[in-house]
Structure 1
Amino acid sequence: MFNKNNGHFAIAIFVIGFIASLFAFSSVSPIWKEQALLFDVKINAQGQPSYRYKGKDVVIDNAIPYKNSPLRQAMLDKSLTAPSLSEQWVYKIKDNGEKQYLLLKPAFHLGLWSLLPAFITIALCLLTKEPMSSLFAGIAVGAVLIGKFDITDKVLLPTLSSTGAATIILLYLWLLGGLLGIWSKTGAAQAFADFMCRTVVKGPKSAKLVTWFLGVIFFQGGSISTVLVGTTVKPLADKAKVSHEETSYVVDSTASPIASILAFNPWPAYVQALIYIPGVAFLATEADRIRFFFQSIPFSFYSILAVLGTLLLSLNITTFSGKGIRKAMKRANETGELDGPDATPLNFQELKSDSLPEGYKPHHLEFIFPILLLISIAIISFIVLGIPKINWAFAAALGVSILIAGIKGMRLRHIIDGIGDGLKSVVSASVILMLAVTIGRITTETGGGLFLIDLLGSQINYQVLPAVLMLFTMITAFSTGTSWGTYAIAFPLAMPLVWAIAQSQGLAHPELFLSICFAAVLNGSVFGDQCSPISDTTVLSAMTTGCDLMDHVKTQIIPASIAAGTATLLWSLITIVYV
């Protein structure tokens, strides 16, 4: 897909973007905007105003009347230089005589230039199909745009040293990678699949149901779920004469959609870092934003319908599956041919390694116990604490898997080798995640969201906004082949815009509207990634199931589009009726 001419064009775009960012840094004056953060302030026993943050009471000192603050919008409009204060507590007197406390923080945008980092990233992804270099190019352009020329010390290191980044590294790289490595070394996942084959699979329907069930059980999403499920079910699906188009569709359409519904995985930890909105108290902390993620899950209509669609197909109900799927099913049933006559199935060496130590006998319970423990801890902690402790859940699952392997006689060096192999398998993905978080921060710092608010906030009718966001993220993710990369670009732009429209148009239920639009961005990105022929999950779904790539794309896009259209209609109806 990538050729020399595309490489030259990509270099030219980066150079032009870099020069443009230098020009904007030296010539464009920032437009400063007042950002008011409203906290739930109480008067403590000493008569002092205070608010609760991370379980502690924080006293508000030196608050001044709002009209005297140099950070209010009227003063920012008059100033020709950057504000001397980075934040200031103020209060307003409400109609009932009570004081309303606000924390003012100035922010700026650079007009259309604020969107330059996102534009460069998307353009290079389209050309190169390579997200890592594209994300880094966007970061470099954004850093120059705001005068942070020391990219390593001023941009990358602050991101890597943040709590959110540390959480991603711990969860996605160490715990998840280690767990996958242990399962590979012990053969636990394959033993579980073999057990299902012996006890459950009796024909095409039961083979597809097992595939669907495993897609739900492996709810980590993305390439991880795709590889685990695809490599696990291919032998049993082939034996049961399930067409490769059907198998690849079920594998692909349960991977990321189920991860956004059963979100006891790294997704909330990643997304929460991108959805902070100045002035919105219920998104003020990391815990608040993760809680908001889970509260918005009932509105993930596309993901729900996508998983439901694969279940219907697994039950041989093809009403919403499209002509391509029905044709493939008929071919497999009547002729036994798993691929079309002109298909070129992707060759794939299964990712699971044949590195089982000599004398070690895997058992399906080695998979079942850790996964049940993982799910239990995540759900119970969510019920008891109000937030799922994903790190606890994965650490416990990894610890139990290591303990079981040790008790069964696996040597320590084999355990360490397995963990090491697992870490290696997710290093590349972890780097991309960190770059995605960084480009999201850069987009926020350059004021991309603020610019869109100024440009569109009073012009877009709130009733059409969920559909607009769904379409925008679908196109972006389809073009770039990445949902998480799209999140990094879309959420910092969309969330402030949604909240500003909710406030300016006087919506009765702004939090509900924010949840709907959040789900539209989340689900639109999943759809675009799932259906894109350049997405890793799309390619891996075809490869692991032995399907022709374009046959998989063409047959999957019909049921996925039906689900996306229905989801958009539901968001619009709820917005019109209830918001």
Structure 2
Amino acid sequence: MDLTSYSHSAYSLLPPAIALVMAILTRRVLISLACGIVVGAALLKQFMVVGGIEYLLDLAKHLVCSDDSWNSWNINILLFLLLLGSMTGLMQVNGSTVAFANWARQRINTHRGASLLTALLCFVVFIDDYFHSLAVGSITRPVTDHAKISRAKLAYLLDSTAAPMCVIMPISSWGAYIIALIGGILAAHGMADISPLNAFINIIPLNFYALFALIMAFSVAYFNINIAGMAKHEQQASLGHLFDEHKGIPAGTSTGFKATVTGTPWGLILPLLILALATFCAFLLTGYQALPDGTSVTIFSLLKNTDVAFSLVIGGFAGLIASVIFSCSLKVTLGCLSYTILRGAQSMLGAIWVLLFAWSIATVIRDIHTGTYLASQVKAIALPPALLPMILFIIAGVMAFATGTSWGTFGVMLPIAGDIVATSYPEMMYPVLAAVLAGSVFGDHCSPISDTTILSSTGAGCHHIDHVMTQLPYALLTAFISAIAYLVIGYTGSLWMAISAGLILLCIGLVWFNQRPKVSTLAASA
């Protein structure tokens, strides 16, 4: 794919900007993404119609194969979604979903309890954000549905506890990747006396957005704080309308399945436990198989080299097989099994289309070098050292928002941040690296084209644009507080003053919103 004069310039901002603005204004994600893709193709091919069409066809081809080989990452993620959809359908047909909801109802029957359960599971399922959003969504959706919690609120709780937890956990796919990047930065600047793991641990308390996002999520769960559009969704949920029914059935919501037998809660719990265990074992096995010669075998080296997408497929197959076996033990007919597996997979098609378009525009953004342009602007600006953490937090947020990827932003911005401070301001190394990590997660949270955001919508059974619009006010408030905290640490150098300032602002915001009129829900509990 050849580049043109429009690459590496301000024009490279047009494709993501058009897609994002249209998604917010029209609330039609696929059309918005398609417009961004077409504009990007036009810019890359200098508005030549034939060249643009060839580029788009090549783009579609690269979704499934590239360089004469299969695109295993994309294919495996899509396959995992289909497997999870089939599992969800089987859990409904064999009565496990209803049985689990009845079992949970006896123990967790309040709005607060169901919300806190969803948030607390981030301390159990933190190995990967994709897995967290989809698995925790499957576990808690029957509980939150019974408590009349809107799917938008569920999607927010899933998304705001997935990436923020993964990014501060060294034993996660995120942690392993970040530790590897930090190791390269330290080595490049002669800081070999600092181990990458110790540097990561020192960065954790400086990752203000992740920490404040988790506090915000737990506060929202406990106090039932509804900001802006979330209040409308919660009000509708209290009347039994868990999602906007005028927009159709959300992706990830298996419908048309009725329990044909009397199930037990174990029909939901066991397959998901097997899915989790098989996925984790596959993480370790694929990581071991990919270890370079001479590399010591540690949990961090295994997670650094693991194949996340393939591991999810292994876990998905294991979970589906467990669901099939459980269904057969309850005398579900073979005809019903095959029909449910196909219809369950079909329920994921909406999410798959959004993911395909999101991956396509991500490729356009990469080819037109949007991230490279933004990064060059950072290096071109002479920033006062005290402002570096806050400015890099904002720029990383903008880049992740525009590109829809936090990992891609890590890869581009972390080395740049290290270059900026290594020679003149080495004492700022940890704050600026933390600011990049925090900004990347923030931008990824807000972006409609982020795959993590898409999968959180899918895991919750929520319309994607509803999730984006209802999560945005919470993310912006948390980001504003984080930016102030980075400003404080930039000028004072004191971690405790920065955290204290952030917590004070967060408490003020939470108290103010908590004092506003509450949504009256039948299941709410003080």
Q: TM-score range by the shorter chain?
A: 0.5 to 0.7
Q: Who is 2:404 aligned against?
A: 488
Deviations 1:204-224 (A, max 9, x none): 654554565578889856699
Residues 372-391 of structure 1 correspond to what in structure 2 (within 5 A)?
372-380=273-281, 381-382=283-284, 383=299, 385-386=302-303, 387=306, 389-391=311-313
Structure 1 residue matching 2:35: 3-state secondary structure: helix
Residues 11-160 of structure 1 correspond to what in structure 2 (within 5 A)?
28=5, 109-147=7-45, 148-149=51-52, 150-160=54-64
Structure 2 CA distance, aligned partners of 1:499 and 1:486?
Answer: 19
Residues 412-561 of structure 1 correspond to what in structure 2 (within 5 A)?
412-459=334-381, 461=383, 464=387, 467-468=390-391, 487-488=403-404, 495-506=411-422, 508=426, 513-514=432-433, 516-526=435-445
Bigger share in helix: 2
Q: Who is 2:500 aligned against?
A: none
- TM-score of the pair, normalised by structure 1: 0.56
CA contact (8 A) 1:458 1:504 kept: no
Pick which of 410-419 and 247-256 moved more: 247-256
Structure 2 CA distance, aligned partners of 1:538 and 1:427?
Answer: 13
Q: Who is 1:253 aligned against?
A: 156
Q: CA deviation at 1:412?
A: 2.2
Q: CA deviation at 1:259?
A: 2.6
Amino acid at match of 1:137: C
CA contact (8 A) 2:354 2:454 kept: no
- TM-score of the pair, normalised by structure 2: 0.61
Matching of residue 233 in structure 1 with residue 149 in structure 2: no
Structure 2 CA distance, aligned partners of 1:541 and 1:396?
Answer: 22
Q: 1:535 to 1:574 in 2, by over 3 A?
A: same
Amino acid at match of 1:355: F
Structure 2 residue matching 1:260: 3-state secondary structure: helix
Matching of residue 168 in structure 1 with residue 77 in structure 2: yes
Q: CA deviation at 1:201?
A: 3.4
Deviations 1:479-525 (A, max 9, x none): xxxx9x85537765785245334324436486985564134222343
Q: Who is 1:201 aligned against?
A: 108
Q: CA deviation at 1:146?
A: 2.6
Structure 1 CA distance, aligned partners of 2:395 and 2:434?
Answer: 17
CA contact (8 A) 1:188 1:367 kept: yes
Structure 2 CA distance, aligned partners of 1:378 and 1:397?
Answer: 10
Q: CA deviation at 1:445?
A: 1.4
Structure 1 CA distance, aligned partners of 2:30 and 2:18?
Answer: 13
Deviations 1:175-230 (A, max 9, x none): 222222222332323321211112x1366654554565578889856699668745
Structure 2 residue matching 1:133: 3-state secondary structure: helix
CA contact (8 A) 1:458 1:501 kept: no
Which runs of no fewer than 5 residues in structure 1 stay unpaired?
1-23, 31-108, 239-243, 283-290, 329-337, 477-482
Q: 1:423 to 1:348 in 2, by over 3 A?
A: same
Structure 2 residue matching 1:457: 3-state secondary structure: helix
CA contact (8 A) 2:274 2:315 kept: yes
Matching of residue 366 in structure 1 with residue 275 in structure 2: no
Q: 1:401 to 1:487 in 2, by over 3 A?
A: farther
Q: CA deviation at 1:312?
A: 4.7
Q: 1:255 to 1:195 in 2, by over 3 A?
A: same
Q: Who is 1:396 aligned against?
A: 318
Deviations 1:443-482 (A, max 9, x none): 1211222222333323163765664566578789xxxxxx
Structure 2 residue matching 1:368: 3-state secondary structure: helix
CA contact (8 A) 1:121 1:134 kept: yes
CA contact (8 A) 1:160 1:166 kept: yes
Structure 1 residue matching 2:380: 3-state secondary structure: coil
Q: CA deviation at 1:366?
A: 0.9
Q: CA deviation at 1:136?
A: 1.9
CA contact (8 A) 1:357 1:414 kept: no
Q: 1:346 to 1:191 in 2, by over 3 A?
A: closer
Structure 2 CA distance, aligned partners of 1:252 and 1:136?
Answer: 24
Structure 1 CA distance, aligned partners of 2:460 and 2:55?
Answer: 37
Q: CA deviation at 1:365?
A: 0.3
Q: CA deviation at 1:428?
A: 1.8
Matching of residue 355 in structure 1 with residue 262 in structure 2: no
Amino acid at match of 1:362: G
CA contact (8 A) 2:160 2:217 kept: no
Q: CA deviation at 1:110?
A: 4.1
Structure 1 CA distance, aligned partners of 2:386 and 2:80?
Answer: 38
CA contact (8 A) 2:390 2:483 kept: yes
Q: 1:183 to 1:486 in 2, by over 3 A?
A: farther
Q: CA deviation at 1:165?
A: 1.9
Deviations 1:53-85 (A, max 9, x none): xxxxxxxxxxxxxxxxxxxxxxxxxxxxxxxxx
Which runs of no fewer than 5 residues in structure 2 stay unpaired?
46-50, 66-70, 187-195, 285-298, 496-526
Where relative contact order (Cα < 8 A, 6+ residues apart) is larger, the structure is 2
Structure 2 CA distance, aligned partners of 1:540 and 1:512?
Answer: 33
Q: Who is 2:518 aligned against?
A: none
Deviations 1:346-397 (A, max 9, x none): 7766955463353x22110011112222222334435493235323222211
Q: 1:379 to 1:223 in 2, by over 3 A?
A: closer
Q: CA deviation at 1:430?
A: 1.1
Q: CA deviation at 1:440?
A: 1.4
Amino acid at match of 2:440: V
Structure 1 CA distance, aligned partners of 2:262 and 2:378?
Answer: 62
Structure 2 CA distance, aligned partners of 1:159 and 1:372?
Answer: 31
* CA-atom RMSD in angstroms: 5.2
Structure 2 CA distance, aligned partners of 1:415 and 1:460?
Answer: 63
Identity %: 16
Pick which of 424-433 and 535-544 moved more: 535-544
Structure 2 residue matching 1:123: 3-state secondary structure: helix
Structure 2 CA distance, aligned partners of 1:515 and 1:263?
Answer: 14
Matching of residue 187 in structure 1 with residue 84 in structure 2: no
Structure 2 CA distance, aligned partners of 1:453 and 1:475?
Answer: 11
Structure 2 CA distance, aligned partners of 1:346 and 1:500?
Answer: 44
Q: 1:217 to 1:249 in 2, by over 3 A?
A: farther
Q: 1:363 to 1:231 in 2, by over 3 A?
A: closer
The number of aligned residues is 416
